[in-house]
Amino acid sequence: MKKSVKLWALLCVFVIVTLTACGSGEETAAVVEKETSEVETEQQDDSTVDEEVAEGTFTVEHIYGETEVPVNPEKVVVLSHVSWEGSLVSVGVKPYAVMAYDSEFPPHLIEELEGVEALPYADEINPEEIVQLNPDLLIISDRYEPLYEQLSDSIPTVVVEVGGDWKDDHLKVTEAVGKLDEGQKVINKLENEAEEIGNRIRESVGEETFMAVSINKKDIRVYGRNNHATNALLFDDLKLTPAENIPEDFGENISIEGLVKYNPDHIIDVTYFNSGEYYDSITQGEVWNGLEAVKKDNVHTLTTTWGFWDPIEREKGLQEIEELLLNE
């Protein structure tokens, strides 16, 4: 439209010059004033159209349908037990409110989430509490389906399925705020960094085997080969060799006795609470200390332990694993 206006304006100038040759100065001035005014009006109209587009909406498809979401939302609320807020931060969007365990944000996002409202983590959420936040966009995990049914008519709501591939989640979250291209660039950068770090680690450890564990309050999580962001970090991104017998799927929770069937060369410890009676009973027990990785002092305890579902933690995790494996 803007190009049409400019061409039309040039045509007007041509007409004006012609009139100048044939008519009086006063007539010419009147024509110039009239045509200039009309051009300015067209430009103002064009500017108004651009402004209306910038303040509009766009459609996001998700597992429960389609949602019209606002361009450049200002109050984004995220409800999930994984750290999708890290995906938002990675593309320059600071959420308004996110869920937090005991009012504490994930350790790798404390600085990035300064000033963000912390919502108590819960399996069931009172919709009235969300309405009071007055968000212009709500991003929730599929475990909160009832909330979608209750609020989606009044609040633009995008539902993301917590799946095996963290990249799918990340892209859907960034798409919801109109940053899909930026979200893909984050993935590309991270993949390149992971390849470089993985090459350096494999040059050092060769075919030595790895297993990730998390010692919980009452049992031990042994992570598997697929369908979890932690597994993908170790075996897809870094291309480390998985230990024999680890689950093919996302993992399993076992007792201390269950550890005897695993005997990796390296253990990646992603325990969130590295203390307590049960933790001490495991790490000081006979079974744990009989593992090859423990005897060789190859237990690598990470401080990034939130599950590696967002690119900020993944990058920090990659760097920490490299530091632990190559400089210990």
Q: What is the pLDDT of residues 101-153, one digit of tens each?
A: 888 899 899 999 999 999 999 989 999 999 999 999 999 999 999 999 999 99
> What is the distance between the alpha carbons of residues 312 and 174, in angstroms, rounded to a whole number?
14
Q: What CATH number labels 184-327?
A: 3.40.50.1980
Residue range 160-177, pLDDT digits in tens: 998 779 999 999 999 999
- Do residues 322 and 101 make contact, with C-beta atoms less than 8 angstroms apart? no
In this prediction, residue 78 carries a pLDDT of 98
DSSP bridge partners of 267: 211, 299
Which of helix, strand or coil describes residue 51? helix
- State the pairing for strand pair 65-70/57-62: antiparallel
In this prediction, residue 111 carries a pLDDT of 94
In this prediction, residue 32 carries a pLDDT of 38
In this prediction, residue 69 carries a pLDDT of 97
Q: Whole-number mean pLDDT of the chain?
A: 86
Placement of tokens 């995990």 in the chain: 141
In this prediction, residue 158 carries a pLDDT of 98
> What is the distance between the alpha carbons of residues 95 and 97, in angstroms, rounded to a whole number?
6
Find, among 266, 288, 164, 282, the residue nearest to 207 by Cα.
266
The DSSP symbol for 92 reads T
In this prediction, residue 9 carries a pLDDT of 39
The residues of the chain scoring below 50 in pLDDT are: 1-54
Q: Which CATH superfamily is domain 57-178 in?
A: Nitrogenase molybdenum iron protein domain (3.40.50.1980)
In this prediction, residue 328 carries a pLDDT of 62
> What is the distance between the alpha carbons of residues 118 and 100, in angstroms, rounded to a whole number?
6
Find, among 166, 147, 146, 164, the residue nearest to 155 by Cα.
147
